[in-house]
Copies of this chain bind each other. A is one copy, B any other.
Amino acid sequence: MTATLQLALVLLAMGFSQGKQHNYLDQVDQLDAEAEIELSAGPSKFGSLWPLPQKVEISGVSFKLAGVSFKITDAKQSSAGQSCSLLQDAYRRYYDYLFAGAKRQEPGKGRQRLGGPAGLSELQVLITSPDSGCDGYPSVKSDESYELKVDQPYAVLKAPTVWGALHGLETFSQLVYEDEYGAKSINSTTISDFPRFAHRGILLDSSRHFLPIKVILANLETMAMNKFNVFHWHIVDDQSFPYMSRTFPQLSQQGAYHPYTHVYTPADVKMVIEFGRLRGIRVVPEFDTPGHTQSWGKGQPDLLTPCYSGSKPSGSFGPVNPILNTTYEFMTWFFKEISTVFPDAYVHLGGDEVDFSCWKSNPDIQKFMAEQGFGQDYSKLESFYIQKLLDIVATTQKGYMIWQEVFDNGVKLKADTVVNVWINNAANNELGKVTAAGFPTILSAPWYLDYISYGQDWQRYYKVEPLSFNGTEAQKKLVIGGEACLWGEYVDATNLTPRLWPRASAVAERLWSAKDVTDVNDAYNRLSVHRCRMVERGIPAQPLFSSYCPHEYKGI
């Protein structure tokens, strides 16, 4: 039996049954206009690699890996060695994924050492750049490339920085499979890999529902399995303010769903950031203003605009009050704190969906509008506020990301401001405009994963081409990536993880792999096995279609 055939059989054994679908589909009210492709199941020549590396050569020669003796080691010339706890931690993590349950033994002790002529006993990791990045944080400029050569006597993973090495370790783990006797095997392979886009994010929303830290960490872990590198933490919103501020503790004391059980303490936030860092993931917090701030108002008097009903305050409140000095004093202190708590070079400032009706009702605001000569154009007032906010945040040495409305309203932006395109009906047009104005941009619009529908919607996410808009090469270079967004109206700890995975995996491959990786059928075959791997690693990633995993999820 050839090694290639072995691989094929193993993949087959992992189970693809694409039987006829119940044809009661007729009765679905809301079928996709765009029909999903009929997929034929079978092993991909790329095994279960996900996202697909830029260059892959897998030979038919296979080696066995022995859990008792296999080692991941630092190459002698590596610029990051034993002292790099980020790497040592990753070695342990991937050893565990590779040999879950198997007990490591010192060679010579007890059982005979496997390996021998057809065994692979070691993966050497070589960081080549003098600045390995080990003790720092990943950034949009990080070099995430790596090269992986699996051959005897040992495999070598070479990367300029630890960030590339982390991706390479994941790739290595994806190359390992079980032969028909359950022996861990890997084929002789050469991979050269780097991401197509630098910013590959997941947005989670911890305001509409509080997400326990355990859930956030599990999803960071899963992000790493999919080579995502940005956690866009939409941490607060109208519904609740779970961020515990040292400067303004009343914000969560009054604004969280519960001041003790439904908050993120400074220690929690630190843990999320460090857990992400160890996996090459940036944590970009979003503090969205001036809209989406109802929960802020509970613990910060006078921050929000009092709405009027006729000539009297109605008792309800609108967006942040843009006409008071106290507002800007608050923002100065608040974002000073944020800039120290979150190490990333960027903070997301929101700026979307500002409702003008409350501002319009308030006589003080009306007077201010007149004084400023804004007429009845409340978007000018919005810009006035945002302009001042951006100036405040600029003093903290942070870059900022904003939702597209801020750009649309003509606010003056720093050149490195990242514009987040989210409105789906004219996203290509918007990408054209934003990049024509010279701003870097990230695309979220086609990837609102909170919108669920019957069937294999991952295919729709997969088929998006972020650079299909009309624009010059220079414009296209400004599209630095995209984000899959899982807004929180209908998700919490009970259903977030299976709803996000593997649907977000489709976005992961689109943002990482080469532009021409568009074979949905091949993607289905790799993704099916990739999702079973996530399940085997304890993540309840939901199924793509009728089939099974060798090891089903153990929870309920």
Q: Which residues of A line the B interface, CB within 8 A?
A: 15, 17, 19-24, 26-30, 33, 208-210, 212, 214-215, 218, 237-240, 257-258, 261-262, 294, 353, 422-425, 445, 448, 450-455, 487-495, 497-499, 535, 539-543, 545-556
Contact among B28, B237, B535 for A494, CB-based, below 8 A: B535
- Among the listed B215, B239, B453, which residue makes an inter-chain contact with A17, where contact means beta carbons less than 8 Å apart? B239
Residues on B with C-beta less than 8 A from A210 are 548, 552
**CB-based contact A543/B494 at 8 Å:** yes
Taken together as a complex, chains A and B put the C-alpha atoms of A494 and B553 apart, in Å, by 6
Q: How far is the CA of A21 from the CA of B488 in the complex (A)?
A: 10
24 A-B residue pairs with Cβ-Cβ distance under 8 Å, sorted by A, are A15-B257, A19-B237, A19-B239, A19-B294, A21-B489, A22-B489, A24-B423, A26-B425, A28-B451, A30-B30, A209-B546, A209-B547, A214-B554, A218-B556, A257-B548, A261-B550, A450-B454, A492-B548, A493-B553, A493-B554, A494-B543, A495-B540, A497-B556, A539-B556
Contact B495 A353 (CB under 8 A): no
Rounded to whole angstroms, the CA-CA distance of A214 and B552 in the bound complex is 11
Return chain B residues, CB-CB under 8 Å to A21: 489
Chain B residue at smallest Cβ distance from A240: B17
Report the nearest B residue to A21, measured CB to CB: B489
Residues of B within 8 A of A212 (CB): 552-554
Residues of B with C-beta under 8 A to A499: 495
Residues of B within 8 A of A494 (CB): 498, 535, 540-543, 553, 555
Additional A-B contact list (15), CB under 8 Å, known A494-B542, A495-B542, A555-B555: A17-B240, A19-B238, A20-B238, A27-B423, A27-B424, A214-B554, A239-B547, A261-B552, A452-B454, A455-B490, A491-B543, A492-B548, A492-B549, A494-B540, A494-B555
Whole-angstrom CA separation of A452 from B452 in the bound complex = 7
Quick one: given A240-B548, A492-B552, are A257 and B543 in contact (CB under 8 Å)?
A: no
> In the complex, A422→B261 CA distance in Å?
44
**B-chain residues with CB within 8 Å of residue A553 when the two chains form the complex:** 212, 492-494
Q: Report whether A542 and B491 are in contact in the complex, using a CB–CB cutoff of 8 Å.
A: yes
Among B258, B445, B543, contact of A548 (Cβ-Cβ < 8 Å): B258
Residues of B within 8 A of A28 (CB): 451
3 closest A-B pairs by CB: A494-B540, A495-B498, A208-B546
CB contacts (< 8 Å) of A453 on chain B: these are: 30, 452-454
Q: Is the CB of A493 within 8 A of B540?
A: yes
Most buried by B among A218, A261, A422, A541: A261
State A17–B294 Cα separation when bound (angstroms).
11
Partner of A493, one of B27, B237, B487, B556: B556
